[in-house]
């Protein structure tokens, strides 16, 4: 195997089990303990992946999900062993995100021995109080040092709930204090409450202001995913239509029975047979099927606004129509991201290339001009 130093562009996923040992507040999946992948099915998928890698993509990142994927640890070991036994002239790496609660000494030993080929990421929502509230009182079951010591640059996956919002800055600071260099997902819970409520705006203003100062003072840290907006794209890609993710091609997912789906969200754990049959008729190569014309034509921050086609479908039964309930929050986050980049530029502009610096400064000016007036009553 060739060592893979860069994240592969082809990122297929194998769902090893529908089972999970937790019942997280925001989980959208339907779990059962009986549905799991066989080794025979897994081998067929591995064979197919290396024979059918899209020619325009380089390397393969083979992901394992569930449920909780480590509940099928023995299967993971067998899949890895089988893949390594194949005569493959291709860069590849294995990856899984875990809740961290089922790791045993034997598992840790195996992952340490295979850490050059297997990246293990952690889902962590912050300090104990928040994490326990969101994720089934599981905080004390996690060995944080194991993850920090072995994969220090692997971003933590974090999801926000209504409970998390007033503690956002505290929780992000806490995760960094554990030694994690980056928080790769600060995702808004797809729950049954309204993210557009003014009370969240007022709370977030204070939380985001605190985070801006934290990241300016600690500019060696990678920005968390929420604030790490590439503002220059508002200038350079404002007229470019994109899918923004690999749904349908680079991010395909195989369920426990070996059936292929467009992405890890588009599986029987999330959608019923009728919905999936409709989804399968989508032309995933058609970019226009994923571009919300309202956002594309009317919103300056369209190129940097987080967009998950699967979540769009979950909420609106459409890949292209975005969930507008999060618009005000995304605009507010963009304002503070602009403030953060402005302060980092003043502190040390040499971290930006000349072109990126030019477009970032222009984007900062326009974001302030276009978006700040919408929130003027909150800043008085």
pLDDT tens digit string along 102-146? 999 999 999 999 999 999 999 999 999 999 999 999 999 999 999
Mean pLDDT score, 171-198:
82
pLDDT per residue as tens digits for the range 18-77: 999 999 988 877 888 889 999 999 999 999 999 999 888 888 999 999 999 999 999 999
Which tokens go with 121?
A: 């990421």
pLDDT value of position 31: 83
Spatial separation of the C-alpha atoms in residues 180 and 29, rounded to whole Å: 27
Which tokens go with 189?
A: 């819970």
Residues in contact with 291: Cβ distance below 8 Å, sequence separation at least 6, in sequence order: 241, 242, 320
Backbone φ and ψ for 209, nearest 5 degrees, come out as -60, -40
In a domain, 151, yes or no: no
pLDDT value of position 6: 47
Range of the domain at 238: 195-244+286-380
pLDDT value of position 307: 87
pLDDT at residue 257 greater than cutoff 90: yes
In a domain, 380, yes or no: yes
Chain-centre distance for alpha carbon 164: 17
Distances (CA, A) of 147 to 93, 121, 175, 214, 222: 17, 7, 12, 23, 17
pLDDT value of position 377: 87
Residues in contact with 40: Cβ distance below 8 Å, sequence separation at least 6, in sequence order: none
- Residue the block writes with tokens 């369209």: 302
Beta strands in the chain (DSSP E): 13-15, 60-65, 92-98, 118-122, 156-160, 183-188, 253-254, 260-261
pTM: 0.91
In a domain, 331, yes or no: yes
The number of distinct structural domains making up the chain is 1
- The DSSP string of 33-64 is SS-B--HHHHHHHHHHHHHS--TT--SEEEEE
Residue predicted with more confidence, 108 or 244: 108
Half-sphere exposure of 25 (CA within 13 A, CB side): 22
Q: At what angle do helices 198-217 and 168-177 cross, to 10 degrees?
A: 30
Mean pLDDT score, 145-158:
95
In a domain, 161, yes or no: no
Spatial separation of the C-alpha atoms in residues 254 and 256, rounded to whole Å: 7
pLDDT value of position 120: 98
Q: 293-300 — which CB contacts under 8 Å span 24+ positions?
A: 293/320, 295/322, 296/241, 299/327, 300/234, 300/238, 300/366, 300/367, 300/370, 300/371
| Secondary structure class of 232 (helix, strand, coil) | coil
In a domain, 35, yes or no: no
Which secondary structure element, helix H or strand E, spans residue 205, and what is its range?
helix 198-217
In a domain, 318, yes or no: yes
In a domain, 372, yes or no: yes
- Give yes or no for a contact between 319 and 291, defined as CB atoms under 8 angstroms apart: no
Mean pLDDT score, 216-221:
94
In a domain, 189, yes or no: no
pLDDT at residue 207 greater than cutoff 70: yes
Of the chain, the percentage scoring pLDDT greater than 90 comes to: 76
Mean pLDDT of the chain: 92
């Amino acid at each position: 195997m060739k060592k893979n130093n860069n994240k592969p562009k082809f990122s297929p996923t194998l769902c090893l089990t529908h089972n999970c040992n937790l019942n997280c507040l925001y989980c959208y999946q339907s779990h059962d303990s009986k549905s799991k992948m066989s080794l025979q099915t897994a081998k067929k998928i591995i064979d197919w992946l290396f024979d059918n890698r899209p020619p325009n993509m380089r390397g393969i990142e083979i992901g394992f999900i569930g449920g909780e994927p480590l509940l099928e640890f023995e299967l993971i070991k067998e899949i890895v062993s089988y893949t390594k036994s194949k005569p493959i002239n291709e860069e590849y790496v294995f990856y899984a995100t875990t809740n961290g609660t089922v790791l045993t000494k034997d598992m840790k030993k195996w992952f340490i021995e295979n850490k050059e080929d297997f990246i293990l990421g952690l889902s962590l929502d912050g300090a104990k109080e928040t994490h326990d509230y969101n994720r089934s009182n599981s905080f004390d079951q996690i060995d944080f040092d194991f993850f920090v010591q072995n994969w220090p640059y692997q971003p933590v996956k974090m999801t926000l709930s209504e409970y998390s919002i007033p503690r956002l800055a505290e929780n992000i600071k806490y995760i960094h204090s554990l030694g994690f260099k980056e928080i790769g997902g600060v995702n808004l819970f797809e729950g049954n409450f309204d993210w557009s409520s003014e009370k969240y705006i007022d709370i977030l203003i204070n939380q985001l202001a605190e985070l801006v100062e934290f990241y300016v003072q600690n500019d060696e840290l990678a920005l968390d995913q929420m604030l790490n907006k590439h503002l220059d794209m508002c200038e350079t890609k404002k007229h470019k239509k994109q899918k923004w993710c690999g749904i349908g091609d680079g991010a395909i997912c195989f369920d426990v029975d070996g059936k292929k789906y467009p992405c890890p969200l588009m599986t029987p754990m999330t959608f019923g047979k009728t919905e999936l049959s409709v989804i399968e008729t989508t032309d995933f190569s058609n970019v226009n099927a994923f571009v919300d014309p309202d956002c594309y034509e009317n919103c300056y921050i369209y190129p940097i606004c987080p967009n998950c086609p699967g979540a769009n479908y979950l909420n609106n039964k459409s890949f292209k129509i975005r969930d507008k309930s999060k618009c005000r929050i995304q605009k507010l986050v963009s304002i503070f991201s602009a403030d953060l980049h402005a302060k980092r530029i003043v502190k040390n502009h040499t971290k930006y290339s000349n072109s990126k610096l030019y477009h970032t400064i222009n984007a900062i000016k326009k974001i302030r001009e276009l978006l700040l007036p919408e929130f003027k009553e909150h800043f008085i």
